[in-house]
Amino acid sequence: MNDTFQPIDAAQVPRFAGPTTFMRLPAVSGAEGLDIALAGIPWDGGTTNRAGARHGPREIRSQSSLMRRVHHVSGTEPFSLVKVADVGDVSVNPINLLDGLKRIEAGIAAIVAAGALPLIAGGDHLTTLATLRAVAQHGAIGMIHFDAHSDTNDTYFGDNPYTHGTPFRRAIEEGLLDGRRVVQIGIRGSIYEPGEHDWARAQGIRIIYMEEFVRRGVEDVMAEARAIVGGSPSYVTFDIDSIDPSMAPGTGTPELGGFTTREAQAMVRLLEGVNIVGADVVEVSPPFDLGNLTALAGATMMFELLCVMAKGVAARR
Site residues, Mn ion (CB under 5 A):
125, 147-149, 151, 239, 241
Q: Closest distance between Mn ion and the C-beta of residue 94, in Å?
A: 20
Nearer to Mn ion, 178 or 239 (CB): 239
Nearer to Mn ion, 147 or 263 (CB): 147
Q: How far apart are CA 76 and CA 69, in angstroms?
A: 8
For residues 53, 59, 60, 65, the Cα torsion angle rounded to the nearest 10 degrees is: 180
Nearer to Mn ion, 24 or 169 (CB): 169
Nearer to Mn ion, 15 or 50 (CB): 50
In 3D space, the residue among 132, 109, 145, 122 whose CA is nearest the CA of residue 52 turns out to be 122
Q: How far apart are CA 229 and CA 184, in angstroms?
A: 11
Report whether 250 contacts 287 (CB < 8 A). Answer: yes
Nearer to Mn ion, 64 or 153 (CB): 153
Q: How far apart are CA 261 and CA 283, in angstroms?
A: 15
Q: Closest distance between Mn ion and the C-beta of residue 30, in Å?
A: 29
Q: Closest distance between Mn ion and the C-beta of residue 106, in Å?
A: 23
∠ CA 17-20-21, nearest 5°, is 130
Helix axes 293-316 and 56-63, enclosed angle (nearest 10): 80
Question: What is the layout of strands, in order, in the sheet containing 234-239?
Answer: 84-89, 36-41, 117-122, 276-282, 234-239, 141-146, 177-187, 206-209
Q: Closest distance between Mn ion and the C-beta of residue 241, in Å?
A: 4
Question: Cis ω on the peptide bond leading into residue 123 (within 30° of 0)?
Answer: yes
Quickly list H helices, 203-250.
210-216, 218-229
Nearer to Mn ion, 255 or 304 (CB): 255
Nearer to Mn ion, 116 or 236 (CB): 236
* 241 DSSP assignment: G
Q: How far apart are CA 237 and CA 148, in angstroms?
A: 12
Q: Closest distance between Mn ion and the C-beta of residue 56, in Å?
A: 13
Helix (H) or strand (E) holding 154: none
Widest distance between CA atoms in the chain? 57
Nearer to Mn ion, 44 or 147 (CB): 147
Q: Closest distance between Mn ion and the C-beta of residue 253, in Å?
A: 5
Which residues is 36 bridged to in the sheet?
A: 84, 117
Nearer to Mn ion, 89 or 147 (CB): 147
Q: Closest distance between Mn ion and the C-beta of residue 7, in Å?
A: 29
Q: Closest distance between Mn ion and the C-beta of residue 5, in Å?
A: 31
Q: How far apart are CA 131 and CA 4, in angstroms?
A: 27
